[in-house]
Structure 1
């Protein structure tokens, strides 16, 4: 059963159910498939707790004050204010919180008793079986963008057409190609990467071919997602101070010529960009690449999960590394929280670098000591952290800053908390200026050390 079908049957909106999954930090694999088929446990939970879901939706749809939230969940006003601190854009001028704030989600964060929720989902899913980690907000945002593919009735009822061009933008190593593949999986399209040599003229089996020929060939195939890397470089705006390669200008013209036919031919082009700031406005016009989706570096909680996933991926339970991890309680997420908190603005790639370095360090130490009960101590962890941190360059931090500017312009309302969190982490790297010592003589002990 599809999520939208279950929602209709229970008379609870699909959007409220999606928000419920996020507020209660449920694993998507416990609830729905990538194609939004409802899992058996979640369907059972929803049917047995439909009254609560309706109550949750009603609260979600209401604009409410802190006093009203406190009355609903019987929590102190001060704790509620602290829980929603940093989400200030969700407050109206009159002091009411917008309907996107859930009283029950706040209550859950404050330790409210929702065992009836977690009894269904608590420990059933092994981390190794997860399709992906965290990013529920991004997954549901993308699914909303793709709704015309998933629900053709939306086109008839609301006149909302399928996008033909999507830009995934974010700093290097954040997982844009992963999400492009995920989009193809959600809408059941073939994933095909547009190789760089397709953009120029080349010879295949002695026959000359070019990018126009390639696009025409793709348009004859059934349901294709075309993934184009370096989209911001290829689609760069023409300016006096920038030199746009002639092959890129040709690619722009070819895409603009054919893009109006993409919808009828079941073609979706997804571009991967570090920034959308320099892309030509013609490319971003309505009916072209008018959908921009930010791909954030993982937050602190996601970093812990990704590290654990990468450390245990494909390991046998009787493997030496797994035994060492288990002896250190490093087969559970809490072990990694401390080191993950030090990896501010780290990309997914940097996290993988960390785990690879740590595995090698553990292996080398074991070969010296032959001790299965060796301790994964601060020396091992900090050494691997230094190795992974080599990619945390000034250039990368500038790319994070540019990404923040982009996402504030394009997707502020969709990802307020991620923006706030990433901005805070980035600011932690700003050098603290040492006050300059004044020139001249100091009087009355001023300036004495």
Structure 2
């Protein structure tokens, strides 16, 4: 796969085993009854149950999703249990979520044929609406739904169609609405979670934690479905920026485009980045340098979840002048810190050790004009290399990007990060990320 350029303007859990009443009235007026493993089938109507009718379940009074659960119950696309509970933290299966989503969207559901499982009509409706099919889960629809799967179904319900193969780099810097308008027809399992966070449909389970492979609970499912309904109704959702950044890192192995886009994304310019090509091999085939992640950290944000990746900021210094003490980084907190992590391996796949280290080496072409004397005297007028006090060697490459004080010179070319690899003769390097500042 060749690197290409992107024109950013144009492309644009659960207690006793009880029965979950998973049923709705079909278009024919017949009722479908759905039973969970360990439960006996009962009527889905439960007309005398006040909890089913009003959503006043006995176990959600202090639950974070109380409001969404009550709304969903009143709308009729989810019910509780016979004992008046809702069991919000119970895992939900792929089939159950699909049934809930189809019902919430008001899709037409056909009759269940003899011999078919209870969920067949719902998957048929979801398939017709190009949301989901049982086959895309290899028909393992009784398995717990993961968060990344939930994101996929939610975004497809909003019209995001992604089928086939898509090189991730084509989507850098673009929004869900742009790709919806562009008619993107490609598939990458991870991208749905990114777009779902970007749209506010999914947030983090903790600050900066998206847990893509975690199973989904009933409460989480209903919350997401309610958000889908809000968006379809023209409403706006709050966006968890840390979830967006984590989803981008999950998808692209970097979060620079959501944390510090002004350094790499410019109107009518190009971004050159392929997360599948963060490897450079030496000409003699003895070594490979591999980037595992490129993490942007906003030092001005004390809540940035990736600060935990660093030693104490008080131990960090930036290089101003060779053979001189480094300058304390904590005096320059209105900056981004770029943390490039990786490793070097030998041809046999084992970690390489050369010059006492297995760390990668990188360097940056900096298209900024700066007075070198000012830089040497401790003024952060350019991107600076960062080290840990004591000079210890590890697998980190750190760079300090000041938010202010840089003068960009377009004639100097793009802002480019290069990855080096050891080998016989000259050190080889390749560009792994290239973009154009927008300031």
**TM-score of the superposed pair, with normalisation by structure 1:** 0.26
Higher relative helix content: 1
Higher relative strand content: 2
**TM-score of the superposed pair, with normalisation by structure 2:** 0.26
